[in-house]
Amino acid sequence: MKIAVFAGDGIGQEVTREAVRVLEAVDLPGLTLFEGDVGGVAYHRHGHPLPAETLDIARASDAVLFGAVGDPTCDNLERHLRPEQAVLGLRAELGLFSNLRPATVFAGLEDMSGLKPELARSIDMLIVRELNGDVYFGDKGMRETPEGEREGWDMMSYSESEVRRIAHSGFQAARKRGSKLCSVDKANVLETSQLWRDVVIEVAAEYPDVTLSHMYVDNAAMQMVKDPGQFDVVLTGNLFGDILSDLASMCVGSIGLLASASLGERTTEFGTFGLYEPIHGSAPDIAGQGIANPMAMILSAAMMLRHSFGNEAQAVRIENAVSAALADGVRGGDLGGDLGTSAIGDAVLARL
Ligand code: ATP
Ligand code: MG
């Protein structure tokens, strides 16, 4: 089991240390960790946020554990040298097109949700967001019209093969969960969404055990707040997924608890190659103080064991240790508590 560990900037360093302690504590035969620099740290050391040697480490590994990137001292650099380019570059270079974000409310944290406790309790969904297409990557530009005003455009495009591969990701994920998939689009006005819907229906034929439904994105946003318990797997494109996954994360409550996986087509002898990271960033405002909650990072490591190593037993063991710690009142600053990063790591380790 070769795992690339890219801790990155700010609290990325601090939370990754705790996740590594947890990985070393569970029984993983042949576990080998390879560290690499990414983000501002990498820029300062090597002149680039994603140095070639880091990319080589990722390519030679079975999975990447990624902390966070973001460094205020890099704000004035040209775009391609900014820390954020490290994660975008890794996704592109490693062909990671499927972003998985589970959202559940841990017992005892219902009051942290933006929703009523009984609604919060009902949340158990997984957002599967396409990562490599859509308006982010289509032709874009800005021009001056003959009338002298500026006009900007971003082309939204999806090909059948792009939709097909993310649809398979979604259905496979649904099969391992509650076997319900809601595909979110805007097929009443967008051609890309019409294609999306056609392809999703076609792929669904291969998953007769999964119940498929469709929802327009505006309605999906409303339903996530009104009745989030109706969702199991939510399959959507890059732009809609960006917005809906932030919405879902606020329904859950703390940013310090949310993990994510980015998967591609590459497989290893153990499973699907992937990159695992907390959804929070480098949090420059609290970096270096030892107060960041490492739970999102620890839960990202659990997702790694599940998806890249097929080790459901150890993934669940880690998740249970986190939820037991929360149930016992272990709280970081993000949850109104005062435990520091390593104390939270200790608390999780003690419950493994
Ligand atoms: P970046 O540009 O790296 O994404 P950001 O400031 O946009 O950084 P985050 O780093 O996600 O966003 O931080 C948002 C807020 O949440 C900050 O106030 C930060 O201190 C807090 N925060 C983020 N992660 C954690 C954590 N693990 N534990 C406690 N607080 C956190
Ligand atoms: Mg951010």
**Of 251, 268, 301, at which residue does a domain stop?**
251
Any residues with CB less than 8 A from the CB of 56 and at least 6 apart, and which?
none
> Within a domain: residue 22?
yes
Select from 186, 217, 251 the last residue of a domain: 251
In this structure, the answer to whether residues 96 and 204 fall within a common structural domain is no
Identity of the residue numbered 270: F
Tens of pLDDT, residues 211-252: 999 999 999 999 999 999 999 999 999 999 999 988 988 888
In the residue annotation, 242 being an active-site residue is answered as: yes
Q: Do 147 and 231 lie in a common domain? A: yes
Residues with CB under 5 A from ligand 2 (ion): 281
Give me the number of domains the chain comprises: 2
Please confirm, yes or no, whether 37 is among the known catalytic residues.
no
The SS3 call for residue 170 is helix
Question: Cα–Cα distance between 343 and 299 in angstroms, integer?
Answer: 16
Query: In the annotation, is 56 catalytic?
Result: no
The answer to whether residues 206 and 311 belong to one domain is no
Phi first, then psi, for residue 198 (nearest 5°) are -60, -45
Percent of the chain with pLDDT over 70: 100
d(CA 204, CA 60): 34
| 8-state DSSP, 116 | -
Mutation to probe ligand 1, out of 84, 280, 338 (largest number of atoms < 8 A from CB)? 280
> Which residue spans within the chain are E strands per DSSP?
2-8, 32-35, 63-68, 96-104, 124-130, 140-144, 150-154, 180-185, 211-216, 233-236, 259-267, 272-278
List the catalytic residue out of 27, 111, 218, 227: 218
Dihedral sign for Cα atoms in the order 334, 336, 342, 348: negative
Regarding the beta carbon of 217 and ligand 1, being less than 6 Å apart is answered no
Regarding whether 223 and 171 lie in a shared domain, the answer is: yes
Mean of the per-residue pLDDT values of the chain: 95
> Does residue 109 belong to any structural domain of this protein?
no
Q: Which of 251, 281, 304 is the last residue of a domain?
A: 251
Residue 112: per-residue pLDDT: 82
- Rounded to two decimals, the ipTM of the complex is 0.94
- Is 258 in the same domain as 210? no
Q: Please check whether residue 261 is in contact with residue 275, taking contact to mean a CB–CB distance below 8 angstroms.
A: yes
Q: Tell how far the Cα of 209 is from the centroid of ligand 2, in angstroms.
A: 38
- So what's the pLDDT on residue 115? 87
Q: Are residues 244 and 274 in the same domain?
A: no
Q: What Rg do the C-alpha atoms of the chain give, in angstroms? A: 20
Structural domain for 174, as ranges: 124-251
Spatial distance between the Cα atoms of 112 and 251, rounded to a whole number of angstroms: 9
What per-residue confidence (pLDDT) applies to 187? 97
261-315, pLDDT tens digit by residue?
A: 999 989 999 999 999 999 999 999 999 999 999 999 999 999 999 999 999 999 9
The residue contributing the CA closest to ligand 1 atom 22 is 283
User: Is residue 118 one of the residues assigned to a domain?
Assistant: no
Q: What is the CATH number of the domain that holds 239?
A: 3.40.718.10
Q: Does one domain contain both 148 and 213? A: yes
- Same domain? For 145 and 238 the reply is yes
Q: CA distances (Å), 132 to each of 1, 114, 143, in order? A: 27, 30, 25
pLDDT reading at 253 higher than 80? no
Strand pairing of 96-104 and 259-267? antiparallel
Q: Is the CB of 138 under 6 A from ligand 1?
A: no
Percent of the chain with pLDDT over 90: 89
On whether residue 261 sits in a domain, the answer given is yes
CA distance 176 to 174: 5
Give yes or no for residue 300 CB within 6 A of ligand 1: no
CA 276 from chain centre, in angstroms, equals 7
More confident residue, 136 or 211: 211
Domain shared by 144 and 247, yes or no: yes
HSE-CB for 68 with a 13 A CA cutoff:
25
pLDDT given at position 302: 98
Closest ligand to C-alpha of residue 69 is 1
